[in-house]
Amino acid sequence: MRDSADGAGTARLNAGRWNGDALLDEEDGVAVEVPVALVYNGVSHAVLLATPCDLEDFAYGFTLSEAIATDAGELLGVEVGDRDALGVTIDVRLTSRAFARLSDRRRTLAGATGCGLCGVESLEQATRAVDPVPSTIHLDPKVVPGSLAQLIDAQPMRAETGSVHVAAWIGPDGNLQLAREDVGRHNALDKLLGARARGTSRDGFAVISSRASYEMVLKAATMRVEMLVAVSAPTSLAVQTAETVGMTLVGFARGRQFKVYTRPERFRTGPR
């Protein structure tokens, strides 16, 4: 097996393809998946399986969406180590106040690919309160199908491997501003949220290429996302959480159609 040109997200390997008559040798693209350890102020906190690209964005997004830090200013530095036979270690330096909060939580994760709630120690830890999201955007419903069309060119790893998720940020004008890919849907969203926190993209909404589960809504709400659009279905707890925090949750966004499960008032549907 050898890495592809980017040296991180995809790799090429030999495979046999059955064409109905014979088994043919050919080269195939696969997504790279490695253990990624998040270490805060020298203390290991979480190990997740992820695609080893955009890892600084991932560190910011995970730290903020899991409420380990309340804003980007509480991250004093992020250092992504070299990938070795074991995986990749990301060292994050937090302010003493943020690290004290983290120590109090006593939450250690050891999960499978992008596992959302692995490692929580009680049912109480499985859900946490989030402040209501703002309500500043009002969109033409046609913006949603338009955003989906733009995802095709924003997924080079999926085009090569067919096995990764994407999370994208769409501006109020309907134009794609950011996109991040990963083998894990939670990781892709964390990378997007981290890139957004580090950059200037603010108004708009997030699109994910997966179902909208509770933890996806929770991560987005923690980062003050007003609208989450999923190409697949939401879960009952995701809908309940979105309603509670005032988020517009869209599911089954495919082609020109989609379903709005909560807070449809962010769409302009009346006469102009």
Catalytic position from the list 34, 37, 76, 115: 115
Give me the sign of the Cα torsion angle 205, 153, 209, 194. Answer: negative
Q: How far is CA 145 from CA 114, 170, 204, 257, in A?
A: 27, 11, 14, 7
Q: Is 53 a catalytic residue?
A: no
In the chain, the DSSP E strands lie at 2-3, 10-18, 23-31, 34-40, 43-50, 75-80, 88-94, 109-110, 165-170, 176-182, 205-208, 227-230, 248-254, 257-262
Closest CA to 230 of 239, 222, 243: 239
**Comparing C-alpha atoms, which of 259, 264, 270 is closest to residue 243?**
264
Q: Report, as residue numbers or ranges, the catalytic residues.
A: 115
